[in-house]
Amino acid sequence: MSSNEMKNVDGKVDRRTFLQSAAVAGASLALSGNALAQAVAQPAKPNLAGPKGIDDLNVGVIGLGAQGQVLIEAASGIPGVRFKAVCDIWEYHQKLVGGRLRKTGYDVKTYEDYRELLAQEKDLDAVIVATPDWMHAEIANACMEAGKHVYCEKEMSNSLEKARSMVMTQRKTGKLLQIGHQRRSNPRYIHAIDRLIREANILGRVTHAYGQWNRSIADSLGWPKKYAIDQAKLDKYGYVSMDQFRNWRWYKKYGGGPIVDLGSHQIDLFSWIWGCNPSAIVAMGGMDYYKGREWYDNVMTIYEFNTPEGTNRAYYQVLTTTKRGGFYEQFMGVNGALTISEVAARGDTVEREAHAPSWDEYAKKGWLKPVKEAIKPTTTRNVAVDVRVTAEAGKWPLPIELLKPAHQPHLENFFDAVRGRAKLNCPGEVAYETAVAVLKANDAVAAGRKLEFKPEEFKV
Ligand SMILES: NC(=O)c1ccc[n+]([C@@H]2O[C@H](COP(=O)([O-])OP(=O)(O)OC[C@H]3O[C@@H](n4cnc5c(N)ncnc54)[C@H](O)[C@@H]3O)[C@@H](O)[C@H]2O)c1
């Protein structure tokens, strides 16, 4: 049994039990996204500072850039989360985020060096790590060694050796390590993949999957000149220049380029769908548009999965010169295709093939949205959609909406696990398997030929 499957059979609250309990809590959950949101929403309990309540958790955040700020915002909506310490080597982000948190009412200290934070902050329960990828292992390992549970952003690392060290430290310390592949806790994805595709098998054999993340051209990131970091400090923390510090994603020392940065979210879904890891990959790509950066600005890959049903294939592309189609994933089976995106407006339907068995039983159970309800002209998505055309085309909207920040459910899962009430949806071992699959895409571009995966490559 793969670790993907194991996550669904644990006795604690995993994705499936979450769905079941949410369904019990709100009988009309599957028919109404609002019902789901209300069922899972909890009243705010602002104990931001002062004595710690029984359910309160003291939390530190290391890395306060774009994603650190997104995670702080999402975690602020979770009762019992108290930010006590934040850390960033860049004074600009330290001041910005520390100031905002203090204004909100958190009693928070700011640090430049994570080692200083760990030395001073003895009563932290958990740390969120959102630095560039190359620092994840060093920081997450130090946090776990210091007795903290860790939520670390994806990609786990830009090197498999470092990613492996995270799994080993997690095992040695017994602390929790959740990696930020947040779709794994998103109720829309759990419903689509665990319930509709894996449990109900509504698509039949999923022979192919597709994923893309396309972005418009963008200039390199700049910085306010008054907050430029001097060279001595950049050297101390391992950054070659201010440009590389800001645009780390494009340089081999710090990250894996767009295929790793963006693809890691979506390539992760292929092994979830098929319950196994890929057996081979081919890829092409290059640095064909931008000048002076190191990583490929476009990559097109095909992964092969040898499943018990036969060989299935997944195509994935990342383009940084056009936003055409944005980002979404598609799972194509012999009886239908499911299109989904983290942003529902980009993908939110299941299409039935004309020859497929009826899906009415799933509509009755609330697992699919009945077509008639879906085409009420009051919903923006369906304005001007002809009832008959929609029904004949066999497009069934997914019944669940996520009315909270996209990262919140994954953080909730982490904090519930810290409290001993849940099992992690993306522990280090699972994310390691994804890292093996994702990082190989860059190797395959460089090799210019099909590369095989050995099953033991996915094990630590
Ligand atoms: N899950 C998601 O959807 C998602 C989205 C975006 C980014 N991410 C991940 O989040 C991480 C951060 O990405 P970002 O977009 O916020 O990058 P960013 O460049 O905006 O922020 C990184 C921050 O880390 C700080 N930093 C760098 N080295 C540090 C160190 N040694 N100690 C402390 N702070 C340090 C920088 O000063 C900066 O403030 C990356 O791993 C990225 O892959 C995940």
DSSP annotation string for 200-257: S-TT-SEEEEEEEEE----PPP---GGGPPPHHHHHHTT-S-HHHHHTGGGSTTT--H
138 lines ligand 1 (CB under 6 A): no
285 lies in the same domain as 192: yes
411 lines ligand 1 (CB under 6 A): no
Q: Among 131, 157, 266, which residue has the most ligand 1 atoms within 8 Å of its CB, making it the best to mutate?
A: 131
| Distance separating alpha carbons of residues 136 and 140, to the nearest angstrom | 6
CB 158 within 8 Å of CB 131 = no
Q: Which of 11-15, 135-139, 189-193, 291-295 has the lowest mean pLDDT?
A: 11-15
**Phi and psi at residue 395, in whole multiples of 5°?**
-95, 125
Q: Which of 147-151, 398-402, 450-454 has the lowest mean pLDDT?
A: 398-402
Atom 21 (ligand 1) nearest CA: 65
| 23-40: average pLDDT | 35
Say if 239 falls within a structural domain: no
What CATH number is attached to the domain comprising 163? Answer: 3.40.50.720
72 lines ligand 1 (CB under 6 A): no
Total structural domains within the chain = 2
Q: Which of 17-26, 243-252, 275-284, 316-325 has the lowest mean pLDDT?
A: 17-26
Say if 288 falls within a structural domain: yes
317 lies in the same domain as 444: yes
Q: Among 62, 86, 87, 89, which residue has the most ligand 1 atoms within 8 Å of its CB, making it the best to mutate?
A: 89
* Ligand 1 atom with minimal separation from the 63 CA: 24
Residue span of the structural domain in which 412 resides: 33-182+407-427
pLDDT for the residue numbered 307: 97
pLDDT for the residue numbered 50: 82
Q: Among 70, 88, 250, 318, which residue has the most ligand 1 atoms within 8 Å of its CB, making it the best to mutate?
A: 88
| Among 407, 401, 373, 333, CA closest to 179 | 407
Q: Give the pLDDT confidence of 248-266 residue by residue, as tens digits.
A: 999 999 999 999 999 999 9
pLDDT for the residue numbered 41: 52
Report how far ligand 1's centroid is from the alpha carbon of 130 (Å).
Answer: 5
Say if 72 falls within a structural domain: yes
| 221-246: average pLDDT | 98
Say if 121 falls within a structural domain: yes
| Distance separating alpha carbons of residues 36 and 67, to the nearest angstrom | 26
R_g over Cα of the chain: 22
Asked if the model's pLDDT at residue 16 lies above 50, the reply is no
Q: How confident is the model at residue 1 (pLDDT cuts 50, 70, 90)?
A: very low
411 lies in the same domain as 279: no
181 lines ligand 1 (CB under 6 A): no
Q: Give the pLDDT confidence of 386-434 residue by residue, as tens digits.
A: 443 444 457 888 999 999 999 999 999 999 999 999 999 999 999 999 9
The residues, ordered by sequence, that sit 6+ positions from 27 with a Cβ below 8 Å of its Cβ are: 35
- What pTM, to 2 d.p., does this model score? 0.89
135 lies in the same domain as 200: no
